[in-house]
A and B are shown apart, each in its own frame.
Chain A
């Protein structure tokens, strides 16, 4: 995101990012999404202070009890505090979402930028590879990758990141193609700037808008995929308070302790919804053409 600051300090024209921020402030839904997202980020950072209990403290005197003053969202089959686990779980979900997207944005960004800038044979080869990857449903691809690497936090991030790389590559390529023939690029080439410098300083900052939008929406789907993997038992393993894993554990007790499945699910929906609201607003704000 550091290049965002670069663009912001660019003297050329009106500051597009301040302009976008102004547009964004007018969008009520996007603001609500942004605020909810900030609350979850706050919870994730200060989990130690917010959670009344540790994520794995077991209280055998209070097993599968409904919500109470001591346990705001009840306890699970090991007498662990569901609220505390959800608070700690927000760390995992947000971390997986952001790291996986950073991973796929960097990988997909480089591939897309090279394909769009160099065009010709390289573009053809890279994009056909991306087409092939897109032909495999991303959840299947992620399952196959986790299957090889084994279930762990890092591997879930790699699997989810890799499986969403092709869509990033496509978006960046399209953006690069659209400005590649601009006069200011020609000027940079004429001055004798290196190709890497042109891509980094001239092209990427101008492609940031679609990348940021895709990244925001990508975090939402990455969180969903990671939760799905854990739910299938292929992601983070049960003792960890990952929301998908909690859902999978709670499913067995749906008759007697429905809060074990309701609470983690609502958390997933809230985070993903806030990201989608914010991402939608961001797209409208950054690209007024798309606004309906």
Chain B
């Protein structure tokens, strides 16, 4: 098991270096001179030239990239062009908000999606199954930024039950979590349903039923355990995706998370924050995937067996 974990952790390093290279290249290609952005358009050309030299912008790109990479390994993403604050502290300030939003969205999606998937599978082709299947597809097809606006329209504008935007109380978290979590709930429902159906057709389930076990025990104790294995992967994937996908929801609800920080920084051409933000998000994404893989090996002995030799 340790060998497996070690191998997977080592594999992260080239991926993260690759991500940095791509992000660095993308930012080099984006328009605008950083020195000009900091000093403003009216700055004297001499001042801009001096600042460019100070910032090392005249060095060869390879040198700049390695400096950037080295900084990254020391968790130094540079400072914001806008207010001179370290990028990392800006990101860490925003992180709890995105984490709150992502986890409550995933939790909500799990609470709705997994039971719906189980009932759908055990009562295949029933009315519940049909409604759940269609609802899941609609949920899957609804853009979360539009859903956000509709939720605001119904619950904040018309019913006035919940706040329109901002943070502060648990009530502020309700609408953004629903908006962000609906698509995942749809994915979980579909995944649980199909995985459950597959397991229910297996011989050991027939045996369990033949033994005279109650349907409840067969489904919740025997079938569910195996059916949830592929769902774990999807849950991990969704957590990672929501971290990125929260950008739109955060924008609509004025939620001060990583996504909104990045959008604001893109608009302000604050390159270091954008750079740091993308790498930060991608790191979280690959890290969660790593955790999922490890968890997967833990719950599915077949995966572990591959690494035993």
Contacts and interface: CB of A to CB of B under 8 A. Distances in A.
Interface of A: 29, 128-129, 131-133, 135-140, 143-145, 147-148, 150, 220, 224, 227-228, 231-234, 244, 247, 251, 254-255, 258, 261-262, 264-265, 268-269, 272-273, 275-277, 280, 292
A129 B18 contact: yes
A220 B183 CA distance: 14
Contact of A265 (B22, B150, B198, B248): B150
B29 A148 contact: yes
Nearest to A255: B157
Contacts of A147: 26, 30, 266, 274
A133 B22 contact: yes
B22 A137 contact: no
B145 A247 contact: yes
B245 interface: yes
A135 B16 CA distance: 9
A67 B22 CA distance: 48
Contacts of A261: 146, 149-150, 153
Interface string B6-50: 000000001110110011001101110000000000000000000
A247 B29 CA distance: 30
Interface in B271-305: 274, 278, 281-282, 285-286
Given A136-B244, A258-B157, A275-B141, 14 more contacts: A128-B18, A132-B18, A136-B22, A137-B243, A137-B282, A147-B26, A148-B31, A247-B149, A254-B152, A254-B153, A262-B150, A269-B146, A273-B138, A276-B140
Nearest to B133: A29
Given A148-B26, A231-B248, A136 B19 contact: yes
B143 A137 contact: no
Contacts of B137: 273, 276-277, 280
Closest 9 CB pairs of A and B: A137-B244, A132-B18, A265-B146, A273-B141, A272-B141, A148-B30, A144-B26, A148-B29, A135-B282
Nearest to A137: B244
Contact of B247 (A140, A227, A258, A273): A140
Main secondary structure of the interface of B (DSSP, over half): helix
Nearest to A223: B143
Nearest to B266: A147
A226 to B, nearest CB: 10
B4 to A, nearest CB: 18
A140 B244 contact: yes
A262 B247 CA distance: 21
Given A143-B266, A261-B153, A269-B141, A135 B26 contact: no
B187 to A, nearest CB: 12
Nearest to B242: A137
Contacts of B23: 136, 144
With most chain A CB atoms within 10 A of its CB, the pick from B31, B149, B278 is B149
With most chain B CB atoms within 10 A of its CB, the pick from A136, A255, A264 is A136
7 contacts: A147-B30, A233-B267, A244-B145, A261-B149, A265-B146, A277-B137, A292-B193
B245 A139 contact: yes
B46 to A, nearest CB: 29
Contacts of B134: 29
Given A137-B245, A143-B266, A148-B30, A251 B19 contact: no
